[in-house]
Amino acid sequence: MNLNELPLWLEILLSALLLLGGLFVLIGAIGLVRLPDFFTRLHAPTKASTLGLGAILLGSMVLVSVSHDGVSLHELLITLFLFITAPVSAHMMCRAALHQRLKIAPGTRNGEYQGLTLARQQERDSSRLP
């Protein structure tokens, strides 16, 4: 099917998906700027962008499946890899941030856990020394 011959309802559906996706990615980016410290900023890209990217990929899947012959499932793989890698990278960054004693936003509850983690790491490092 030619791209110019898409039925109207499909065009509306695709536009809605793309807009929704774009909106959530934008909100993720706004979160990076607005949130007070590293740890809260970490929340924006791990979540807001998963749905944003999901909506864009869904749109891509529908469009390619309709305009070319056959179903396009590449996008499922991208989603799968995203869901595997996003939490792992967030976890690694969070650990690095704890180790570096990055500033925590004032008012954060249980902020002393950061010190606890660090003391434990130092203990482990020193026990490794000969």
Partner 1 sequence: MSALLPMPFFSLVLLLVWLLINNSLAFGQILLGAVLAVGLPLLLRPMHVPGPRVRSLHGVSIYLLRLLRDIVVANFDVAKLVLSSRSKLRPGFIMYPLDLTDDLPITLLASTISLTPGTVSADLTDDKRYLLIHVLDMHDEASLIEELKQRYERPLQEIFAC
Give the residues lining the site for partner 1 (CB under 8 A).
24, 27-28, 30-31, 34-37, 39-40, 42-44, 46-48, 50-52, 72-74, 76-77, 83-84, 86-88, 90-91, 94-95, 98, 105, 107-111, 113-114, 117, 120, 124
Distance of CA 111 to the CA centre of its chain: 24
> Which residue in 87, 65, 86 sits closest to 75, CA to CA?
65
> Which residue in 98, 93, 92, 97 sits closest to 118, CA to CA?
98
* C-beta closer to partner 1: residue 2 or 109: 109
Minimum distance from residue 65 beta carbon to partner 1 (Å): 11
Vertex 37 angle, CA 33 and 41, to 5°: 55
Minimum distance from residue 8 beta carbon to partner 1 (Å): 27
Minimum distance from residue 4 beta carbon to partner 1 (Å): 24
Number of Cβ within a 10 Å radius of residue 61: 19
